Amino acid sequence: MPLVEVILRSPLPVTEKNSTVLATWTYGAGKSAALTTDAGQRWASQWTSWENYDKFFSQLVRWSMRPTDDTGNFSVATNTRDNSTQVIVTALDQNEEFLNDQLMTGTVVAPDMSSVPIRIEQTAPGRYTGEFPSEMAGSYLVVINPGAGQAPIRTGVNVGYSAEYRDHQTNMALLRSLAELAPEDAPQGVLLEGGLDSSLADLEFDDNPFRRDLPPAIANQSIWPWLMVLGSCIFLGDVFVRRVQVSFLWMVPLLARSRDYVMHRQRSAPAPETMSRLRSKKQEIGQQIERQRSAARFEAPTGPESTSGSTLDTGPARRSAGSVPKTPADNAPPETAPEESYTERLLKAKRQVWEDRGGGPEGPK
């Protein structure tokens, strides 16, 4: 049992379940003690010679009896609310100082004579609090054991019926004060001392309690403050729309980061600025070359100098007739010729085709 206080144990047997010699606990509104041996006639015959033998039995019987003195420096308060009763114990010692670290237990006897244990814990210096359910209406007897060497504390709690069953009296002072109030442009009220049902027969027609002679209540409230607030909001909104440019470009990288975070993607490192400049420069030069090629005209040069100087020496007769012994000067590395344009290469290819057919620019021979 959680409320049993074991005072004396025997070394044999070893198990605690069967080694209790003396135990006390609270039962109902009183206290009980259990001594698991005899008074020395059969089993414990040797302890009758103990010098405190008589004192032990007298103290045990006196502890179990109903106390006749006061409760000492313990005060108990109860508070009933929401089908539960709280028990508050304030403990003081002989010097009127807070008494702490007391092992308190309690028991409540409900109106149906059932016993309910109370768990009491210390919540403040010298203050111990316990709580038990009190759903039934009636009287509850509370017995608190403040600790060893202290007399039990007894108190009672009366739990009434629900508030809807209470008999409330009429607040006549409030009714008189209300009847004395005279509204504007209307007669003063009349108080019916004996009640409405007993006084209806004695009332005149003009004293009808359900009269309709009161003026209607009319209240006016200006709306210009609300219109000023509305106009100010519209004016500020118009200035904001006209003067402030709102850009939502910052949402694009934010959405991209959110997408990469959700899909567990790793963003690639941005390309160096040097590579981007090189690529743009390369693209610009390519565009310039394309514009120069498209602007070139496909026209053959005229005149004997250009014809004789630009004729290709590719025929076999010309190679045989114009072949001369090479001199040491001819073995020297040739000078690097200037790069030919696209038009010159096209004219050379055209003359080569005419010579292969057996004629020159003037026609077949």
Which residues of 5-82 form beta strands (DSSP E)?
5-9, 20-27, 30-35, 74-81
What pLDDT shows up at residue 347? Answer: 83
Which region holds residue 149: left if phi is over 0, alpha if psi is between -120 and 50, else beta? left
What pLDDT shows up at residue 72? Answer: 53
CA distance 309 to 351: 12
What pLDDT shows up at residue 75? Answer: 85
What pLDDT shows up at residue 70? Answer: 47
Q: What's this model's pTM, rounded to 2 decimal places?
A: 0.33
Report CA dihedral (327, 331, 335, 340) to the nearest 10 degrees.
90
Query: Which residue stretches of the chain have pLDDT < 70?
Result: 1-3, 28-30, 66-72, 148-149, 163-168, 194-211, 269-273, 296-340, 358-365
What pLDDT shows up at residue 319? Answer: 43
CA distance 296 to 113: 122
Quote the mean pLDDT of the chain: 75
- Residue of 223, 195, 226 whose CA lies nearest to 209: 195
Domain extent listing, the chain: 5-64, 74-161
- Residue of 40, 96, 105 whose CA lies nearest to 73: 96
What pLDDT shows up at residue 232? Answer: 95
Specify the amino acid at residue 260. Answer: D
- Residue of 206, 212, 179, 210 whose CA lies nearest to 193: 179
Query: How many angstroms from the chain centroid is the CA of residue 22?
Result: 55
The CATH number fitting domain 74-161, selected from 3.40.50.2300, 2.60.40.420, 3.40.366.10, 2.60.40.10: 2.60.40.10
- Relative to beta strand 127-133, strand 121-124 is antiparallel
CA distance 160 to 155: 17
What pLDDT shows up at residue 67? Answer: 56
